[in-house]
Amino acid sequence: MVFVPIKVNVLLWRVVYNKLPTRQNLVDRNVDIPSFLCQSCSLEVEDCKHVFVDCEVASQVWIKVVKWLDLPFPLIINVTELLYWVDTVSLPDLKKKVLEVIVLTTIWMILQYRNNVFRSPAMKRSGIFETLVSGVYIIQLFKKKNEIFGRKDKKYIICVFFDEPAK
């Protein structure tokens, strides 16, 4: 696995093992909440699979991410399958590491959007992808013939900042 902040690794563990306080998990623990429907779409029960894969908001973000990276859209059943796709996609090692960082960042951004639904003002749906792209800084290191997702003749390193920039 590539290096990401520990809070992202913890989030990933919580998602894979269904340990996030989703509405479904709260109901399962007998917490009284007004609704167990997703706050983003109000169409389905909010569980980890729904938040990160099935929700209209998440699925639109994943479509934008794979288009941005010029990759074929994988059949995403759940986050575990998404991570398996990242591990098995036919890409050179460097591209695969970049893809892994972007996927983990996307999972983080979807959670941030979901959590901001409860705050005012809430993050706009379009803000998920825009924040993701603006938060992934690509720094040119060397002018060598290397290509990472369509960026030719340069070698890049990806640095992702998981906290909001200082205002």
Residue 2 pLDDT: 59
Q: How far apart are CA 19 and CA 75, in angstroms?
A: 24
- Predicted confidence (pLDDT) per residue in 116-130, tens digit: 865 655 667 777 777
Residue 117 pLDDT: 65
User: 3-state class of 117 per DSSP?
Assistant: coil
Burial 47-73 (b: 16+ CB within 10 A, else e): bbbbbbbbbebbeebbebbbeebeeee
- Predicted confidence (pLDDT) per residue in 57-89, tens digit: 999 999 999 888 888 888 888 999 999 999 999
- Residue extents of the structural domains in the chain: 47-134
pTM over 0.85? The answer is no
Q: With contact defined as beta carbons under 8 Å apart, do 153 and 145 qualify?
A: yes
With residue 126 as reference, give the H or E element that holds it.
helix 125-135
Residue 135 pLDDT: 63
Q: How far apart are CA 4 and CA 6, in angstroms?
A: 6
